[in-house]
Amino acid sequence: MRRVKILGCGNALPERKIVFGDQTRYRLGEGQTLLDLSEQAIRNALNDAGLDISDLDCIIGAMATPLQAIPCNAALLHERVAKGTEIPAMDINSTCTSFVTALDMASYLLDAGRYERILIVSGDTGSAALNPNQKESYELFSDAATAFVVGRGEGDTGVLFAAQKTWSEGAHDTEIRGGCGLMTAFKFNEENREDYFFDMKGIKVLKLAARVLPDFLSESLEQAGMTLEDIDVVVPHQASKALDMIMSRLGIKPEKYINRVSEYGNMISASIPFALCEAIHQGRITEGDVVMLMGTAAGLTSNILFLNY
Amino acid sequence: MRRVKILGCGNALPERKIVFGDQTRYRLGEGQTLLDLSEQAIRNALNDAGLDISDLDCIIGAMATPLQAIPCNAALLHERVAKGTEIPAMDINSTCTSFVTALDMASYLLDAGRYERILIVSGDTGSAALNPNQKESYELFSDAATAFVVGRGEGDTGVLFAAQKTWSEGAHDTEIRGGCGLMTAFKFNEENREDYFFDMKGIKVLKLAARVLPDFLSESLEQAGMTLEDIDVVVPHQASKALDMIMSRLGIKPEKYINRVSEYGNMISASIPFALCEAIHQGRITEGDVVMLMGTAAGLTSNILFLNY
């Protein structure tokens, strides 16, 4: 076990709310950016933890998408909340599961004494690249940001087990081909416009996830010396309305997992930490609970992490 | 000390060579991408280590710039060299010093037994965004890729000390404002064209670096219980022709550090690992040497790492 304790967390949603049938989504307002949302989430998290930015000694940006090609997202977050300090800033990215990868890494850094208190910030604004012609994805995503302050745990509090796998046969099932190094903005024109939008082959992703996740989960439980019965709350990535189907396939009962897809949709890297923070603040997760964070990400990557909260 | 051993490394340069006065630079040829260079570097590194991709259990993309906004670079590298495996893929990014941050993180993962052998791939193609109107940066950068295979060390081999700091008053001194989330390709037009190019305020970066680096180095040496005399070879980020001036300010003698700026220029995230790999293959760094990796990155971030090779 690696000692980690969640000291505080905070969520931030844009005010603009749109509705597709029974599904509610949130999108940035005019002039608002992901940095604004992130700053709000960070201030909420620091407030929740009763800490000041000077109490932190590392800032990790755990977002799926870059704000700028240079510098990294964490440096831009640092400018918003930590300017004048020397706190190191870096990004860790595994797309939608970036928060889980970052928490996993942070657990080693905290347990080994490298840092005392780490800020992990996740968030994305799918709206920057949603394609109005791809209804399935256009109506699925919300813009959001979440921040967590994590410190070294005491006693039994910490990461019990974590694993990650990538199956790159799914590398192009969820992607944004244009805008960055492989196809720069300079190449943008009316003919290749679609390449600059978010593109998701939903059925392919779902099939690949349904094929690989059951083995990954049973292997992880075995390696951790646990069974599904040992887990109190499952916080899955809120990938799509197929969440219930995937959970059922994994043998996870509806009362055990959190499903906020109709309220928020897919918030990309913010999905897991947003639902986790909400569940903590609502008292659904309490001290001593064993929590499973899990999800799939573009790649296709999947992360599983068992946390003794 | 965290046990890490460099098992092999490989470099890759594009064939197209251009010359500015006494400075040689390398740039991608038509149709060539950073993925092509990276694949070549990875194959060179595996060959050097006498290992196969199936011997690895983690792939870290440690590049400054994104190839696509989604998925992460490591997933696209995975597709090139590890398709069909389940090796986890993730990015770690602190811009120009991404390799040092990744090696630092990898040292915790290896030392704790999470992974046995990690592939770290750095590389960038500045040419994708160089501004022909900004001579200073246009004539400075080369495209390149480098890969390292690192495993758990034995005996005295490993990371003796590592530290990172970020001073975000320099966040906009080195940047590419356009192309990603904050200013997407959809907003590109002839008026804001310059925002999509790499933009460097060289003198400002140099002043900030010259101000903060001496203290950071002396603090690091003190915390590591070392002096400059204990270091056999310094592998600095090949930031610019001002390298000699910075090294002199830090009290590092010319015979102790590697300066390849005239041969290669600034290779962004590949600069440090490329020079390190070359020095290993040329026999300038041999077993038992204490090596200091150091550099500044957009952010402004700086990393210092002492490695017992």
pLDDT tens for chain B, residues 1 to 309: 999 999 999 999 999 999 999 999 999 999 999 999 999 999 999 999 999 999 999 999 999 999 999 999 999 999 999 999 999 999 999 999 999 999 999 999 999 999 999 999 999 999 989 999 999 899 999 999 999 999 998 888 999 999 999 999 999 999 999 999 999 999 999 899 999 999 999 999 999 999 999 999 999 999 999 999 999 999 999 999 999 999 999 999 999 999 999 999 999 999 999 999 999 999 999 999 999 999 999 999 999 999 999
B86: enclosing H helix or E strand: none
- State how far the Cα of A94 lies from the Cα of A30, in Å rounded to an integer: 29
What's residue B228's pLDDT?
A: 97
| SS3 state at B106 | helix
Q: Please name the residues in contact with B252: beta carbons below 8 A apart, sequence gap of 6 or more.
A: B228, B234
What's residue A154's pLDDT?
A: 83
Handedness of CA B80, B82, B86, B90 (dihedral sign): negative
Torsion-angle region of B112 (φ positive above 0: left; ψ -120 to 50: alpha; else: beta): alpha
- Please provide the average confidence, as pLDDT, over all residues in chain A: 96
Is B96 one of the catalytic residues?
Answer: yes
What's residue A198's pLDDT?
A: 93
For A89-113, write each residue's pLDDT tens digit: 999 999 999 999 999 999 999 999 9
| SS3 state at A205 | helix
CA nearest A128 in B: which residue? B181
Q: Please name the residues in contact with A277: beta carbons below 8 A apart, sequence gap of 6 or more.
A: A9, A10, A11, A146, A148
- State how far the Cα of B11 lies from the Cα of B44, in Å rounded to an integer: 7
Query: B67 and A180 in contact (C-beta within 8 Å)?
Result: yes
Is A277 one of the catalytic residues?
Answer: no
For B175-218, write each residue's pLDDT tens digit: 999 999 999 999 999 899 999 999 999 999 999 999 999 999 99
| Cross-chain residue pair A71–B299, CB shorter than 8 Å | yes
Which pair of tokens denotes residue B256?
A: 């102790």
Q: How far does B248 lie from chain A, in Å, by closest CA?
A: 24
| Cross-chain residue pair B180–A68, CB shorter than 8 Å | yes
Percent of the residues in chain A that have a pLDDT greater than 90, as a whole number: 94
- State how far the Cα of B71 lies from the Cα of B88, in Å rounded to an integer: 13
Number of Cβ within a 10 Å radius of residue A224: 18
Chain A residue numbers with beta carbons less than 8 Å from the beta carbon of B99 are none
Top residue of B4, B68, B134 to mutate, by most chain A CBs within 10 Å, is: B68
Query: B124 and B140 in contact (C-beta within 8 Å)?
Result: no
Top residue of B33, B39, B72 to mutate, by most chain A CBs within 10 Å, is: B72
Which pair of tokens denotes residue A274?
A: 């947003």
- State how far the Cα of A70 lies from the Cα of B174, in Å rounded to an integer: 7
For A14-49, write each residue's pLDDT tens digit: 999 999 999 999 999 999 999 999 999 999 999 999
Q: Is 90 exceeded by the pLDDT of residue A149? A: yes
Cis upstream peptide for A214 (omega within 30°): no
Q: Please name the residues in contact with B117: beta carbons below 8 A apart, sequence gap of 6 or more.
A: B7, B51, B55, B56, B57, B58, B149, B150, B151
What's residue B153's pLDDT?
A: 81
Residue B303 bridge partners (DSSP): B164, B295
